[in-house]
Structure 1
Amino acid sequence: MQNYVFVVDTNKQPLNPISPARARELLTKQKAAVFRMYPFTIILKHAVLNPAPKPLTIKLDPGSKVTGLAILEGENVIWVAELEQRGGIIKNALSARRSLRRSRRNRKTRYRPARFDNRKRKEGWLPPSLMHRVLTTETWVKRLCRYAPIAQVVMELVKFDTQKMQNPEIDGVEYQQGELVGYEVREYLLEKWGRKCAYCDTSGVPLQIEHIHPRAKGGSNRVSNLCLSCQRCNIKKGVKLIEEFLKKDNSRLEKIKQLARKPLKDAAAVSATRWSLFHTLKNLLPTTYCSGGQTKYNRTRLELNKQHWIDAACVGDVETIRLLTEQSLRIKCTGWGTRQMCGTDKYGFPIRHRERKQVHFGCRTGDIVKAIVTSGKKAGEYVGRLSCRKSGSFDITTTSSRVAGISHRFCTPIHKKDGYSYGF
């Protein structure tokens, strides 16, 4: 149940993806060679005249932190991945830079009039942490189009209507009614409360929408008055006030009250970028969209587990799907590093200088290498992300640990740095 293998001919034209067994056969008979490790792609040693590959569909489930990707050939899911964003890292880096610059200005310059009112942002501007989601998704759609004959894009266009969430009675529609109505509210609560019971932290069981302040005592349907509860706690609480129900657990009571008032930032991030992502993809390929409620309805009807790549496969009009793969490629955005030449401490004072040279002994930090150490304390085989030093003693970060002090003589690059790390 592995991902299918992408195939290009000697002219780098994308052909139909093939099964892993067929790819091994071509590599063994030396009719093809490895073209790229992530995503795994082979290149044929001959040209294919008049190729007529079957058109594929790529489906996207954009999330604030993780985006699910799935490539389908008809009803068959042949390649899946999960793209982990780094929007939070970008926001923290910009906040740290702003504080350092502000501190430096205060130390070195006299008062200057504020200029932020003179700056104008173009229409459709997004913060860098949100624009990163759009650009990264666009990058991977373009990359997959180079290795597979993708003909169309289907994406989930999630809209969290916060006004309707806060007061469902605005248009007389209750969130419990209908097949699809209320799925957005349920997904909002599942993300907000961590998919577990707010009263006992039980997970992996059916969860019910619970009113923190009971309806029988004047509670409303506002989303700030809703949480998730297992059936046992829901029955046990009944129409009691939460102060009475949790009178012996003050820490949990305070936690629930604080979290109930706290908005879900992920919902705002998804809502802010949905149209920008749609118009960006529409300029690449024919693109259609559907609601998040329809995605969850398809997944529930087909009795599939909750995962980002499964949600991606269930996007759009789906009668049935066949999962020919369950090995999801995990793609994590790591970035290209920083251009800052002077490292600073938390107060903004310089503590170290960073060298301009990045390539040492043919490798640089971020490359994925394979190291076979034949003797010594660190004898073994290691595959992972490389951290370079000009001394030639490298570190390798594998999926389980970090191995230090590996000589450059043992390292063979298998995938050059491209701003991402990979796993399964």
Structure 2
Amino acid sequence: MSKVFVLDTNKQPLNPIHPGRARMLLSQGKAAVFRQYPFTLILKQEVSRPAVVETKHGRSLLRIKIDPGAKTTGLAVVNDATGEVVWVAELQHRGFQIRDALTSRRQLRRSRRNRKTRYRKPRFLNRTRPKGWLPPSLNSRVANILTWVKRLSALCRITAISQELVKFDTQQMEDSEISGVGYQQGTLAGYEIREFLLEKWKRTCAYCGAKDTNLEIEHINPRSKGGSNRLSNLCLACTPCNQKKGNQDIKDFLKGKPDLLKRILAQAKRPLADTAAVNATRWNLYENLKKTGLPVEVGTGGRTKYNRTIRGLDKTHYWDAACVGASTPEQLVTSGTKPLLIAAKGHGTRQQCRTNKFGFPIRYCKRTKFHKGFQTGDIVKAVVTSGKKIGTYVGRVATRATGSFNISTPDGLVQGISHKYCTHIHKKDGYSYAA
């Protein structure tokens, strides 16, 4: 399991400890649970000389490592001195949900306004945007990561941050003359290009769609017929397709499949949608991380994959995070480490009423958040002892004024649970959790 965070009586972070040690402190009554997610203890008695994280030249060496993504971001806390991975997590963003909600609202508003018979002069450029402004769907990704950086900094002694700033070093892949052949053909060049192509072609053969097989880099226009090594001329192909195509022109190879030919040529020139979202937020995130006052190291996606490959780790968001940057220890201690799965859920809605499909109000929304001591978004445990729904349910709760709640569990939605059976596990903080 991941280490357990510990705070002293003044809520100052101490050494993360082994789960077995945490159980002993709880059983002896020396500590209490401070937070459920991430699991944190607070000591009941003051420690005169608390243990600190292993140091080098008098400084603790815990580092937060971040692998930002459009949909999921990997987070890791790594001890630079020992190589121990203290804590890992995957943070699922809701940027695309925000984008869809704003699009729906805009469409409803325009539809209502267009139905008005009176003429209203259109308004344009009536709002100014501050410097560094990001759309809400992109800003939410940055805000989510910053929230967890601040939380982790409050739970353990963080001294540095590593961020994957760019997914692909396109200069290193495209133009060798900027800094010489040695820069392009360095250790990471092949990793940059291959990782880009794997994401762009979704890890499938461009010609037959084969998955879970060895994929080779294929020149769409063969080198022997004037094709280049530019990314727009590269795709992925399984070994049989690559050998079958040989040095044929793609138009000759796929002359009997015009639809496939059209799709491949279009895909070769199409940028990555998720990468566009990451690129739009990466510098904003970097500037905000620097404001924390901690030194910020940056690295590329190619280096992350190189670090992960030579250390023999699986392809996951959290192991990618642990391998970000040149500071990655030679040996990572990962035994028993389990990720915390975090999903951003937001803090509810500001709508004062609910609308029908045409955008017209149909019912009023009460502004009261708390019902029977609970609010929507709390994580609760319900032990039902009577009735048709006898059992134990754990999940996020949706409250009602009547006291009959709904609980979203991993197995589905359970409706009509009385508040009398519910106890708090974790107060609402805008996220849901799973081990």
| Partner residue, 1:70 | 76
Shift of residue 202, structure 1, vs aligned partner: 3.2
For 1:182 and 1:272, how far apart are their aligned partners in 2?
25
Shift of residue 41, structure 1, vs aligned partner: 0.5
Work out whether 1:120 is the aligned partner of 2:128: yes
Shift of residue 124, structure 1, vs aligned partner: 1.9
For 2:90 and 2:162, how far apart are their aligned partners in 1?
16
| Partner residue, 1:41 | 40
Q: 1:256 to 1:351 in 2, by over 3 A?
A: farther
Shift of residue 243, structure 1, vs aligned partner: 5.0
Q: 1:256 to 1:4 in 2, by over 3 A?
A: same
Match of 2:89 among 75, 81, 91: 81
Larger mean CA deviation between 105-114 and 304-313 belongs to: 105-114
Work out whether 1:8 is the aligned partner of 2:7: yes
What letter matches 1:234 in structure 2? Answer: N
Larger mean CA deviation between 75-84 and 107-116 belongs to: 107-116
Shift of residue 363, structure 1, vs aligned partner: 1.3
Shift of residue 383, structure 1, vs aligned partner: 0.9
For 1:349 and 1:142, how far apart are their aligned partners in 2?
41
What letter matches 1:125 in structure 2? Answer: W
Q: 1:163 to 1:31 in 2, by over 3 A?
A: closer
Work out whether 1:365 is the aligned partner of 2:376: yes
Work out whether 1:106 is the aligned partner of 2:105: no
Shift of residue 270, structure 1, vs aligned partner: 1.8
| Partner residue, 2:57 | none
Query: In the TM superposition, what whole-angstrom CA distance separates every residue of 1:334-361 from its partner, at most 9, and x where no partner exists?
Result: 1011111122233322233222222221
For 1:89 and 1:282, how far apart are their aligned partners in 2?
28
Query: In the TM superposition, what whole-angstrom CA distance separates every residue of 1:275-294 from its partner, at most 9, and x where no partner exists?
Result: 22112111112222222222
Work out whether 1:302 is the aligned partner of 2:301: no
Shift of residue 412, structure 1, vs aligned partner: 1.0
For 2:312 and 2:252, how far apart are their aligned partners in 1?
38
Cα contact 1:175–1:185 (8 A) shared by 2: no
Cα contact 2:191–2:302 (8 A) shared by 1: yes
For 2:407 and 2:167, how far apart are their aligned partners in 1?
42
- TM-score by length of structure 2 reads 0.89
| Partner residue, 2:396 | 385
Q: How does 1:301-340 map to 2 (within 5 A)?
A: 301-316=310-325, 317-318=327-328, 319-340=330-351
Aligned to 1:322, what secondary structure does the other structure show? coil
For 2:233 and 2:123, how far apart are their aligned partners in 1?
41
What letter matches 1:36 in structure 2? Answer: R
For 1:400 and 1:245, how far apart are their aligned partners in 2?
49
For 1:88 and 1:354, how far apart are their aligned partners in 2?
25
Shift of residue 170, structure 1, vs aligned partner: 7.6
For 2:257 and 2:421, how far apart are their aligned partners in 1?
57
Identity %: 57
What letter matches 2:296 in structure 1? Answer: T
Q: Which runs of 5+ in 1 are unaligned?
A: none
Aligned to 1:153, what secondary structure does the other structure show? strand
Cα contact 2:224–2:247 (8 A) shared by 1: yes
Q: 1:12 to 1:164 in 2, by over 3 A?
A: closer
For 2:183 and 2:390, how far apart are their aligned partners in 1?
60
For 1:173 and 1:204, how far apart are their aligned partners in 2?
33
| Partner residue, 2:279 | 271
Cα contact 2:172–2:189 (8 A) shared by 1: no
Shift of residue 237, structure 1, vs aligned partner: 2.5
| Partner residue, 1:237 | 245
Shift of residue 238, structure 1, vs aligned partner: 2.0
Work out whether 1:145 is the aligned partner of 2:156: no
Q: 1:235 to 1:370 in 2, by over 3 A?
A: same
